[in-house]
């Protein structure tokens, strides 16, 4: 294939992708404007081939990363001892935070054989991935039934001699609230346990809104007991994927993040993160975009984002069929429809080219639709609200019943038949997902996991 043919084929590949530039997507992509996108692409492509494996070979990458960490340290109220690393995304930042806590515990208590971390039920799934990868048992605790916030009172009874980490969110992805970081931090400090604040989605917008004069809940290194924070730059920092920050209170903690191997016959092998070879593109792009936008404009964008999100919340909440879950004061919103088929509503919005996340019920928290509001929604959120109201009326008229099947007795051997009945075939999903989503929600969790693994295997063939 020649260059023109390759470009044409790439365009064909993209034809079924979700359109995101026009603000009809409420997750995955954060788009500010074409100028910022071009700056990010320019810097990324300048360093596409450079390898972040060795800062002594490409010292420019080290310089840009250190300057970016200085910017983030100021946002997070770290003192001169605070140190950070640019990772490939929030998941890597969280994986490294858990790995660091485990390795620190091993070093300080060589005889310790079991490792536990305490996480609220609203914590990001990446913590469970870390638990699985690193052999750290996740002790999941309930959040407050009304605020959906993790509290020190609910965490304290679960602390024991195996606890190597406590984690909380600022904000929680699912419901957009900041956990009670101050009291949890005090508890962690009293027990001498590292405390990680997952600010992957929330820390940047909270910090920059605070720069703009908004009073936000305390969540960062100004809080006693906070020892590490994760913060994505490729979300509300509007940097290209993948760029996240893992920052520690001091090197006394970060040293356990590093991996060095001198037990093989090759070159000196020393990594700050999980990857060894990696493109320098995200490092250069993060440096370029954060400098291009700057603290003042970031604060203006953050305040505008929260203003728009709260207007969406206000208008949706005024509709008689809509209930806003808990009290989200920032940029993330979750809403449900107690008397309307929420699964069918999700499909109806998708048919109108709006793409929002569907979150399954958990304990007393009902199935809901999740919105991540960002800059690309500034000019079209009123159209979205209008379509939500119209979609509700359409679903009411269709009167689509909820799934009426007993799925509790299914076994793994039944999976192929179940997938077929749900309209799933050869790694493809039907346009309407209401029945599939209800089945996933109702299936026993081991079964739904097996079903999803089966589907992913079919999809990547």
pLDDT of residue 430: 76
Q: So what's the pLDDT on residue 446?
A: 84
* Nearest-angstrom CA–CA distance, 8 and 164: 52
Residues 6+ apart with CB under 8 A from 395: 340, 341, 344, 345, 348
The model carries a pTM of 0.94
Q: Decide if pLDDT at 273 tops 80.
A: yes
The mean pLDDT value for 348-352 works out to 94
Taking only the tens place, the pLDDT of each residue in 122-165 is: 999 999 999 999 999 999 999 999 999 999 999 999 999 999 99
What is the predicted pLDDT for the residue at 449?
85
230 pairs with which residues across the strands?
Answer: 198, 246
Query: What percent of the chain has a predicted confidence (pLDDT) above 70?
Result: 98
pLDDT band for 250, please (50, 70, 90 cuts): very high
Mean pLDDT of 392-415: 80
pLDDT of amino acid 400: 79
Under 8 Å between Cβ of 100 and 87: no
Q: What is the pLDDT of residues 306-326, one digit of tens each?
A: 999 999 999 999 999 999 999
Please report the pLDDT score of residue 427 as a whole number: 64
* Euclidean distance between CA atoms 130 and 137, whole angstroms: 9
What is the spatial distance between Cα 138 and Cα 194, in angstroms, rounded to a whole number? 15
Token pair for residue 17? 């992708």
Q: What is the average pLDDT across 166-182?
A: 97
Sheet containing strand 323-324, edge to edge, reads 323-324, 332-336, 368-372, 357-359
- CATH, range 41-289: 3.40.640.10
Stretch(es) of the chain classified as CATH 3.40.640.10 = 41-289
Structure-block tokens of residue 11: 């365009």
Q: What does each C-alpha distance from 392 to 49, 225, 321, 388, 448 come to in angstroms?
A: 50, 46, 8, 6, 28
pLDDT tier at 448 (50, 70, 90 boundaries)?
A: confident
Rounded distance between C-alpha atoms, residue 126 and residue 276, angstroms: 20
Angle at which helix 90-108 crosses helix 126-134, to 10 degrees, equals 40
Please give the average per-residue pLDDT across 24-35, as a whole number.
Answer: 95
Q: Identify the pLDDT of residue 426.
A: 66
Band (pLDDT 50/70/90 cuts) for residue 200 is very high
Instruction: Indicate whether 215 pLDDT > 70.
Output: yes
Query: Residue 425 has what pLDDT?
Result: 67
How many other CB atoms are there within 10 angstroms of residue 213's CB atom? 8
Rounded distance, CA 299 to CA 309, Å? 15
Give residue 420's pLDDT: 74
In the predicted model, what is the mean pLDDT of residues 422-450? 79
> Residue 240 carries which DSSP code?
P
| Residue 245 to residue 253: CA distance in whole angstroms | 15
Average pLDDT over residues 72-99: 97
Under 8 Å between Cβ of 258 and 116: no
Q: Are 199 and 77 in contact (CB under 8 A)?
A: no
Average pLDDT, the chain: 93
> 3-state SS string over 30-92?
CCCCHHHHHHHHHHHHHCCCCECCCCCCCHHHHHHHHHHHHHHHHHCCCCCCCEEEEECCHHH
Alpha carbons 448 and 210: distance in angstroms, whole number: 41
Q: What is the pLDDT of residue 421?
A: 72
Q: Do 283 and 47 contact (CB within 8 A), yes or no?
A: yes
Rounded Cα gap, residues 255 and 270, in angstroms: 12
The answer, yes or no, to whether residue 86 has pLDDT greater than 80, is: yes
């Amino acid at each position: 294939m020649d260059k023109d043919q390759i470009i044409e084929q790439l365009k064909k590949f993209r034809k079924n992708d979700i359109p995101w530039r026009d603000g009809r997507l409420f997750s995955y992509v954060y788009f500010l404007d074409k100028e910022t996108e071009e700056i990010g692409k320019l810097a990324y492509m300048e360093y596409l081939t450079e390898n972040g494996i060795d800062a002594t070979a490409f010292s420019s990458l080290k310089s840009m990363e250190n300057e970016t960490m200085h910017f983030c340290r100021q946002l997070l109220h770290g003192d001169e001892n605070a140190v950070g690393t640019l990772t490939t995304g929030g998941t890597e930042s969280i994986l490294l935070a858990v790995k660091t806590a485990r390795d620190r515990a091993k070093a300080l208590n060589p005889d310790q054989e079991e490792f536990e971390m305490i996480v609220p039920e609203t914590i990001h799934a990446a913590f469970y991935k870390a638990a699985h990868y690193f052999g750290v048992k996740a002790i999941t605790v309930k959040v407050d039934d009304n605020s959906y916030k993790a509290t020190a009172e609910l965490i304290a009874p679960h602390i024991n001699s195996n606890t190597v980490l406590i984690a909380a969110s600022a904000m929680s992805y699912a419901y957009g609230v900041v956990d009670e970081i101050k009291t949890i931090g005090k508890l962690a400090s009293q027990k001498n346990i590292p405390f990680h604040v997952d600010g992957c989605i929330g820390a940047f917008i909270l910090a920059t809104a605070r720069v703009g004069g908004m009073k936000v809940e305390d969540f960062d290194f100004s809080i006693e007991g906070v020892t590490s924070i994760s913060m994505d730059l490729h979300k509300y920092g509007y940097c290209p994927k993948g760029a996240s920050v893992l920052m520690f209170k001091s090197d006394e903690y970060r040293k356990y993040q590093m991996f060095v191997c001198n037990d093989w016959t090759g070159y000196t092998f020393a990594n700050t993160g999980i990857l060894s070879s990696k493109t320098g593109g995200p490092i250069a792009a993060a440096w370029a975009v954060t400098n291009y936008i700057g603290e003042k404009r970031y604060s203006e964008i953050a305040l505008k984002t929260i203003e728009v999100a709260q207007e969406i919340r206000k208008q949706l909440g005024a509709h008689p069929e809509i209930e806003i879950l808990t009290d989200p004061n920032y940029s993330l919103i979750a809403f449900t429809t107690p008397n309307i088929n929420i699964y069918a509503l999700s499909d109806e919005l998708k048919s109108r080219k709006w793409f929002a996340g569907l979150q399954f019920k958990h304990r007393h928290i009902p199935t809901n639709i999740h919105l991540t509001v960002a800059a690309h929604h500034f000019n079209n959120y009123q159209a979205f609200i209008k379509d939500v109201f119209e979609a509700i009326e359409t679903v009411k008229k269709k009167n689509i019943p909820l799934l009426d099947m007993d799925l509790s007795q299914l076994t793994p051997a039944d999976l192929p038949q179940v997938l077929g009945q749900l309209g799933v075939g050869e790694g493809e999903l039907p346009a309407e997902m209401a029945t599939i989503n209800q089945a996933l929600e109702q299936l026993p969790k081991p079964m739904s996991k097996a079903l999803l693994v089966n589907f992913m295997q079919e999809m990547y063939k």
